[in-house]
Amino acid sequence: MSNLINEACVKSHQAWVGYRETTYKQRENLLVAIAREIEALGDVLIQTAMEETNLPQARLTGERGRTCNQLRAYGKHITDGYWANACIDTAIPDRQPLPKVDIRKVNQPIGPIVVFGASNFPFAYSTAGGDTASALAAGCTVLLKAHPAHLETSRLVASAITKALVSEGLSEDIFIHIEETDFSAGKALVQHPNVKGVGFTGSFGGGMALIKYAQERAEPIPVFSEMGSINPVLILHENYDESLEQKINQLAGAITLGVGQFCTNHGLIFGLKGPVLDKAAHQLGTAISKVGIIGKMLHPGIAKSYVQNYQTALDQNGVEVVARSVEADEPGIGLIAKTSSATFAENKKLHQEIFGPYSLIVECDDLEDLLAVYEHLEGQLTSSIFIEPERHDVQKLAVAKMIHKSGRVIINGVPTGVEVCHSMVHGGPFPSTTDGRFTSVGQDSILRWVRPVCYQSFPDEVLPVALQNDNPLNIARLVNGVWSTAAI
């Protein structure tokens, strides 16, 4: 292990011993200050990110806005205190056969967290993205491994975080920016004894490598890798009407948005063989054809993989092209292909995610066949249905299967635009993530980095503020089995 990594991990632990004692309000102030400092960077941040990622100005400006809003939302989440899961069971001294003592619990931070920046979201899932925000919210320190593809962008954001720490009077070591770009640095971080958790958004290969590194540790630690998914769409319309056409156009937009480089991009479309699906495929093809050259992909490696992967898919027996946005094998072209459910079921190569604006239509014989083929998919971040709103029985039938394969199920909508709210789940069964019990977006993403601590028979003054009788933080607490903000 390099000295640099070891020193960073030692500093991060030392900083955590102080940071874990901060009040919820101090942590909220820190997140708000980070948002402010990122905004204060101004155009230079957007320009730098444009140069490094090929993403257009409007997209990056939007993503910066989302990132800063997310920091402020998590700040509010901290002082709202739901993540703390404060519970109080008061004493019953005269209970028979044994008295009951006073028992309370509240979540506490687990320690330094390693966060890996993602290539496809240089702001929202990188340096000051959801993993960093949720770890800082929890009271954990962060070791941020910068993504080598946008190192300068990451440096700028890291400088904003450092400024915020200084302005809030906190240790600069609460957030440490790691710029060593080789794989061994990532491995050394994940394997350092001071590190107590890992957050990652990226490829299946990258996420699984981190799991393997973590498994070599003496002490198991949580690794939350969000590794993407194919996000199937089930077209179950009985009639081709205007509403379906609108949804198909929305789908074309979702497939090509950001050159298809979203974790919620749709790589699979299931439909029932017949005129409705034929028209839908035709309309989707038409919409894709009109798009033309969509844009450059994030970096040359991703562009090269995309072309290789879709060519492999198109080379499979029984797969035909429906439409291309450009009549040449350029990186970043939109592409719709088609196959039968029998071909799809037999050929596992067609089940793999192709990162880019590609989608495969699977023609099924009937609903039973469609749900049987769907059942063979691996775990997904999202699954969607396009269907007439009133056909509840078919919706129920499909949803009963879909919820056990997906983190999020959408009726008549697309999953792009991951709302930051309490109810959001950006997670899902393996291999979409390494632990489907958690989400990486929304307040509950904080739960990845905390553990409950129980306080038995404590004097009120010695309890953490969140558990004191008069509820000084005014948070909701489960008091003797009922949520309440009242004093005890």
Residue 263: active-site member: yes
Give the alpha-carbon dihedral of 19, 20, 21, 23, to 10 degrees.
90
Among 166, 292, 430, 472, binds a copy of itself (CB under 8 A): 430
Q: Which of residues 444-463 bind a copy of itself (CB under 8 A)?
A: 444, 447-448, 450-459, 461-462
Alpha carbon distance 393, 141 (integer Å): 49
Q: What share of the chain is helix, strand, coil (3-state, %, to 5)?
A: 45, 20, 35
Q: Whose CA is closest to 283, among 257, 307, 253?
A: 253
Q: Which of residues 180-239 bind a copy of itself (CB under 8 A)?
A: 211, 215, 219-220, 222
Q: Is 423 in the site for a copy of itself (CB under 8 A)?
A: yes
CB of 390 to a copy of itself, least distance (A): 8
41-49 contacts, C-beta under 8 A, 24 or more apart: 41/156, 41/157, 41/159, 41/160, 44/156, 45/153, 45/156, 45/157, 48/152, 48/153, 48/156, 49/122, 49/123, 49/150, 49/153
Q: Is 468 in the site for a copy of itself (CB under 8 A)?
A: no
Q: Which of 37, 52, 226, 353 is catalytic?
A: 226
The answer to whether 271 and 420 have CB atoms below 8 angstroms apart is no
Give the total of residues touching a copy of itself (CB under 8 A).
75
Q: Which of 63, 263, 363, 364 is catalytic?
A: 263
Element (H, E) at 75: helix 57-80
CB of 98 to a copy of itself, least distance (A): 7
Residue 226: active-site member: yes
Task: Pick the closer one to a copy of itself by CB: 124 or 336.
Answer: 124
Give the alpha-carbon dihedral of 253, 147, 131, 37, to 10 degrees.
-90
* Cα radius of gyration rounded to whole Å, the chain: 24
Binding part of the chain for a copy of itself, among 42-50, 281-289, 361-369, 440-448 by CB under 8 A, reads: 440-448
Residue 231 tokens read as: 């996000």
Among 112, 427, 471, 473, binds a copy of itself (CB under 8 A): 427
* Number of C-beta neighbours around residue 465 at 10 A: 13
Q: Is 72 in the site for a copy of itself (CB under 8 A)?
A: no
Q: Is 371 in the site for a copy of itself (CB under 8 A)?
A: no
Task: Pick the closer one to a copy of itself by CB: 3 or 457.
Answer: 457
Alpha carbon distance 165, 159 (integer Å): 10
Q: Which of residues 96-155 bind a copy of itself (CB under 8 A)?
A: 98, 100-101, 103-105, 108, 110
Q: Which of residues 2-61 bind a copy of itself (CB under 8 A)?
A: 20-21
Task: Pick the closer one to a copy of itself by CB: 59 or 177.
Answer: 59
Residue 174 tokens read as: 């609460």
Q: Is 349 in the site for a copy of itself (CB under 8 A)?
A: no
Task: Pick the closer one to a copy of itself by CB: 91 or 321.
Answer: 91
The answer to whether 270 and 364 have CB atoms below 8 angstroms apart is yes
Task: Pick the closer one to a copy of itself by CB: 319 or 381.
Answer: 381
Among 431, 466, 468, 473, binds a copy of itself (CB under 8 A): 431
Task: Pick the closer one to a copy of itself by CB: 338 or 477.
Answer: 477
List residues with catalytic annotation. Answer: 226, 263
